[in-house]
């Protein structure tokens, strides 16, 4: 190698999970830490990583186009947010008083509010309006150190409006530095015009929406809200199996409020991930472990819904040897926050995860929930050069000093996109 695009030096501490495979159970606690580190980047990929001395030795005689010094700060892989409802219209602050007075989440939905109120706002919004609103949220995520985001549809619930949401996600992917991974979630709620006719709505998803979305390559994954009063286990199975037939890998909102058996279904059909899982049973977790399903935990949602129970992260890690991932679940109802750093604090407080486990859950295991652990989620030669730079001495500091944004900079695909807490490059490269 004679030329190098970018050398990142002055890294006080570099912390990353090793390798390019998900980390199971106790492995989640094992991370690589390098003091006084450097990372060499060429054509968007990592070409050297190690101590500054090692990297400089490897670069002897190489022409370096640009060097940046991160001033002794902490560097981790760019964070991955694998479960969001990024693209939607409107907001639901009008439901706050109802929620605080104790009306349950599913009750608000059954009364035609909740998700269905966002469906009305999303249907009324133009692609341009949805794009502008989602882009603002995506900027917040980037400023939190996030470099890849999953985005679900599910607030359109007609073929046209589901396609509209997914097209906006694609446009964001094409124009914003953060990579977007799309999931079709037509089975997020039963739309008002199908009230009492859920089976007919499932027919519409299976016969019309799925083939169109697959035809236009608008989503990689298919997701279902498998919950009492929304979609049954049987309906979820049918939709996810049809999704699979159309080339969309299954994901599932499983056992969030009631133990319906969503975790078991995830194992049975070979879902890539199952999300929420607050009410998952031992049998369900065992099925997931036996079938390689990644649990994606969303502690911001239980926090915001004021629930007393939380997902059993400790059991998942210690007893079931699962590769736990974390996410914001950013959405206008159950979790209106883009802040993965708030999630990091809540995972420590309520899920009792260690800082090392949390980092693994927000990087390589989150990448694994999106089928991307060989490309992103760790700082390793050959991988995409996605790095987060934090104003913190070590990873313990991130959940410890809560409620503020620690990000100083972000490197995405080898480009400096955030510096001194400001977005300095707004376009995708
Ligand atoms: N639980 C279902 N779906 C979302 C919430 C969507 C909404 O309330 O708008 C979730 O993952 O929490
Ligand atoms: Zn969700």
Task: Answer yes or no: is pLDDT of 219 > 80.
Answer: yes
Residue 94, classified by CB atoms within 10 Å of its CB into exposed (0-12), middle (13-18) or buried (19+), is: exposed
Per-residue pLDDT tens digits for 405-427: 999 999 999 999 999 999 999 88
176 contacts: CB under 8 Å, gap ≥ 6 = 135, 138, 142, 426, 427, 428
Task: Answer yes or no: is pLDDT of 1 > 90.
Answer: no
Cβ of residue 118 lying under 6 Å from some atom of ligand 1: yes
Distance 276 CA to ligand 2 centre (A): 8
Taking all residues of the chain, what is their mean pLDDT, rounded to a whole number?
Answer: 97
CA-based nearest residue to 99, from 89, 85, 113: 113
CA-based nearest residue to 79, from 363, 404, 359, 295: 363
**Nearest-CA residue for atom 2 of ligand 1:** 225
- Ligand 1: atom nearest CA of 275 is 11
Residue 244, classified by CB atoms within 10 Å of its CB into exposed (0-12), middle (13-18) or buried (19+), is: middle
**What integer pLDDT is reported at residue 113 of this predicted model?**
92
ipTM, 2 dp: 0.97
Q: How far is CA 138 from CA 66, 118, 210, 222, 255, in A?
A: 27, 19, 26, 22, 28
Q: Indicate the pairing of strand 79-81 with strand 74-77.
A: unpaired
Per-residue pLDDT tens digits for 267-279: 999 999 999 999 9
Work out the percent of the chain whose per-residue pLDDT is above 90: 98
Per-residue pLDDT tens digits for 187-211: 999 999 999 999 999 999 999 999 9
- The C-alpha atoms of residue 181 and residue 275 are separated, in whole angstroms, by 16
Cβ of residue 332 lying under 6 Å from some atom of ligand 1: yes
Cβ of residue 333 lying under 6 Å from some atom of ligand 1: yes
Per-residue pLDDT tens digits for 241-284: 999 999 999 999 999 999 999 999 999 999 999 999 999 999 99
What's the average model confidence in pLDDT over 203-222?
98
Per-residue pLDDT tens digits for 71-117: 999 999 999 999 999 999 999 999 999 999 999 999 999 988 999 99
Distance 74 CA to ligand 2 centre (A): 30
**Probe target for ligand 1 pocket from 225, 299, 304, 326, with the most ligand atoms within 8 Å of CB:** 225
Q: Indicate the pairing of strand 3-16 with strand 32-42.
A: antiparallel
- Ligand 1: atom nearest CA of 92 is 9
Q: How confident is the model at residue 429 (pLDDT cuts 50, 70, 90)?
A: confident
User: C-alpha angle 335/338/344, rounded to 5°?
Assistant: 85
Number of DSSP helices (H) and strands (E) in the chain, helices first: 17, 17
**What integer pLDDT is reported at residue 348 of this predicted model?**
98
Sign, CA torsion 108/109/113/114: positive
**Nearest-CA residue for atom 7 of ligand 1:** 333
Q: How confident is the model at residue 212 (pLDDT cuts 50, 70, 90)?
A: very high
**What integer pLDDT is reported at residue 248 of this predicted model?**
98
Residue 102, classified by CB atoms within 10 Å of its CB into exposed (0-12), middle (13-18) or buried (19+), is: exposed
Per-residue pLDDT tens digits for 301-341: 999 999 999 999 999 999 999 999 999 999 999 999 999 99
Which residue ranges form the domains of the chain, and what is each CATH number?
3-77+375-423 (2.30.40.10), 79-370 (3.20.20.140)
Cβ of residue 114 lying under 6 Å from some atom of ligand 1: yes
Task: Answer yes or no: is pLDDT of 287 > 90.
Answer: yes
Report the SS3 class of residue 45.
strand
Residue 3, classified by CB atoms within 10 Å of its CB into exposed (0-12), middle (13-18) or buried (19+), is: exposed
Number of Cα atoms under 13 Å in the Cβ half of residue 181? 24
Greatest CA separation found in the chain?
A: 71
What's the average model confidence in pLDDT over 387-407?
98
- Give the ligand at the shortest distance from the Cα of 121: 1
Could you tell me if 334 and 276 are in contact, meaning their C-beta atoms sit under 8 angstroms apart? no
Per-residue pLDDT tens digits for 346-383: 999 999 999 999 999 999 999 999 999 999 999 999 99
| Residue 219 tokens, joined | 């989503």
Enter the pTM of the model.
0.98
């Amino acid at each position: 190698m004679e030329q190098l695009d970018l050398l990142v030096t002055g890294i006080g501490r570099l912390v990353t999970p090793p390798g390019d495979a998900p980390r199971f159970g106790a492995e989640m606690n094992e991370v690589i830490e390098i003091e006084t580190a450097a990372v060499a980047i060429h054509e968007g990929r990592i070409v050297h990583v190690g101590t500054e001395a090692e990297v400089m030795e490897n670069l002897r005689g190489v022409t370096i186009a640009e060097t940046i010094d991160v001033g002794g700060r902490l560097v981790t892989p760019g964070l991955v947010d694998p479960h969001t409802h990024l693209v939607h219209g409107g907001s639901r602050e009008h439901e706050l008083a109802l929620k605080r007075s104790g009306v349950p989440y599913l009750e608000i939905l059954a009364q035609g509010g909740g998700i269905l109120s966002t469906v009305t706002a999303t249907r009324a919004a133009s692609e341009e309006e949805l794009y502008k609103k989602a882009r603002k949220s995506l900027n917040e995520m980037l400023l939190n150190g996030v470099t890849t985001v999953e985005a679900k549809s599910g607030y359109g619930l007609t073929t046209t409006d589901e396609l509209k949401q997914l097209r906006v996600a694609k446009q964001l992917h094409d124009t914003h530095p953060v990579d977007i991974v799309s999931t079709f979630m037509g089975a997020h709620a039963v739309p008002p015009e199908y009230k009492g006719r859920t089976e007919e709505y499932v027919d519409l998803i299976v016969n019309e929406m799925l083939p169109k979305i697959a035809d236009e390559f608008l989503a990689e994954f298919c997701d279902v809200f498998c919950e009492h009063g929304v979609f049954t286990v049987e309906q979820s199975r049918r939709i996810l199996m049809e999704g699979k037939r159309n080339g969309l890998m299954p994901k599932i909102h499983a056992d969030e409020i009631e133990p319906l058996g969503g975790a078991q279904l995830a194992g049975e059909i070979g879902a890539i991930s199952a999300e929420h899982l607050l009410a998952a049973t031992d049998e369900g977790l065992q099925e997931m472990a036996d079938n390689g399903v990644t649990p994606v935990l969303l502690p911001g949602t239980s926090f915001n819904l004021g629930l007393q129970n939380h997902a059993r992260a400790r059991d998942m890690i210690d007893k079931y040897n699962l590769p736990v991932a974390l996410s914001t679940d950013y959405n206008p109802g159950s979790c209106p926050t883009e802040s993965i750093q708030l999630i990091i604090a809540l995972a420590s407080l309520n899920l009792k995860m260690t800082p090392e486990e949390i980092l693994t859950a927000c990087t390589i295991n989150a990448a694994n929930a999106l089928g991307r652990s060989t490309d992103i989620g760790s700082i390793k030669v050959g991988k995409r050069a996605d790095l987060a730079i934090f104003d913190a001495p070590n990873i313990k500091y991130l959940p410890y000093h809560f409620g503020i944004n620690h990000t100083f900079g972000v490197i995405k695909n080898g480009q400096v996109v955030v510096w001194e807490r400001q977005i300095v490059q707004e376009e995708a490269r």
